[in-house]
Amino acid sequence: MKYIFLFLSLALVGISPAAPADSSATAPQPFTQNILPKDAYVFYVIGDWGRKGKYHQRQVAEAMNQCAQKAAPQFIISTGDNFYTFGVKSTKDKLWKKSYENIYNGSAIKQTDWYPVLGNHDHYGNQQAEIDYSKIKTHWKMPSAYYSSEVQTSDNTKITLVFTNSEPLVHDNKAETENQWKWIDSTLATSTATWKFVVGHHPVYSSNPMHGDSPPLIERLRPMLEKYQAQAYFCGHDHDLQHQQPQGSKVDYFVSGAGSELRPSASYQHTKFAQSTAGFALVAITHSTMTVYFIDEKGTVVYQYSRGK
């Protein structure tokens, strides 16, 4: 009954149940290394995962490990909601073991660095503990609530990664967030990297009926992404896999929030792909191209998208 109600509600607001908007870009197939561009620099993106292995978390972790045996990631980005339901209490909270260390412990990923951002559920707990855990677990790279990193590929291609703390940004409390807005602007403005990616928890654009678009990010973040020619924004918050791209925009918006619990998905005018499938994103970078693969809990590529810089 609730799904009938959901369908009718979506129809009233112009949102349809999810289906690939560009079927030519979607050809489900088992992930193999030979589908990657030659000599690609690879990283994974996963969000909304910290549930002590429940729902689909453990299966997605196993799929990540299986894929890593074929294409090892240089690092893993977490788009937030790292620990449900109320974050962690301290660096000694049992959730570190139950939801993180004991889950992502496959032989091919257990030594991989993680670059996390804070989600709204992380804000319910001790945010500083997630930052301080970087001093305990060297593979957990979170120096502050928002930060940036620049990496370089084997062919000297530079990638700038801007990790935001989107919870205060979406509430648009200017007194608390103005410093972060200025920092995002400055970091993007001064980057000389070929590829510029911004990461947050909340979507700029999302067709999911649970949360959807974030107007404050559309108002303030989108103009920065376009002005400084960032190619993509990665986030979570909505529990599905999405690729959104507003007409006329050169920025791709990816939702990777399907690390454990799922919610019904949907599509709307900006949607290139949206599916309520447990999984993660694999991003492959060369000097001239970015390719994003959505991979489900069985190790199947359910969506593939490529673009130039």
Q: What share of the chain is helix, strand, coil (3-state, %, to 5)?
A: 30, 25, 45
Domain boundaries, the chain: 2-308
Q: Residue 236's closest CA among 208, 269, 194, 273?
A: 208
CATH no. for 2-308? 3.60.21.10
Phi and psi at residue 66, in whole multiples of 5°? -65, -40
- Give, for 1, the enclosing helix (H) or strand (E): none
pLDDT given for residue 176 in this prediction = 74
Neighbours of 185 (CB within 10 A): 16
Largest CA distance in the chain: 55
Structure tokens at 284: 């492959």
**Predicted model pTM:** 0.93
Q: How deeply is 241 buried, as exposed, middle or buried, from its count of CB atoms within 10 A (0-12, 13-18, 19+)? A: buried
- What pLDDT does residue 137 have? 95
Tokens of 146: 């928002």
Burial of 6 (0-12, 13-18, 19+ CB in 10 A): middle
Question: How many CB atoms sit inside 10 A of residue 12's CB?
Answer: 8
Distance CA 269, CA 244 (A): 9
Q: Residue 233 in contact with residue 221, Cβ under 8 Å?
A: yes
CA dist 152 and 1 (Å) reads 51
Q: Residue 16: its pLDDT value, please? A: 53
83: which 2 tokens?
A: 């620990």
Q: Going from the first residue of the chain to its last (309 residues), give the mean pLDDT of each consecutive group of 10, the final group possibly shorter.
A: 40 48 63 95 98 98 98 98 98 98 98 98 98 97 98 96 97 83 98 98 97 96 98 98 96 98 97 98 98 98 97
pLDDT in tens, 204-251: 999 999 999 999 999 999 999 999 999 999 999 999 999 999 999 999
Tokens of 6: 């959901």
Give the pLDDT confidence score for residue 27 in this predicted structure: 73
172 within 8 A of 136, measured Cβ to Cβ: no
Q: Identify whether the C-beta of residue 271 lies closer than 8 Å to the C-beta of residue 26.
A: no
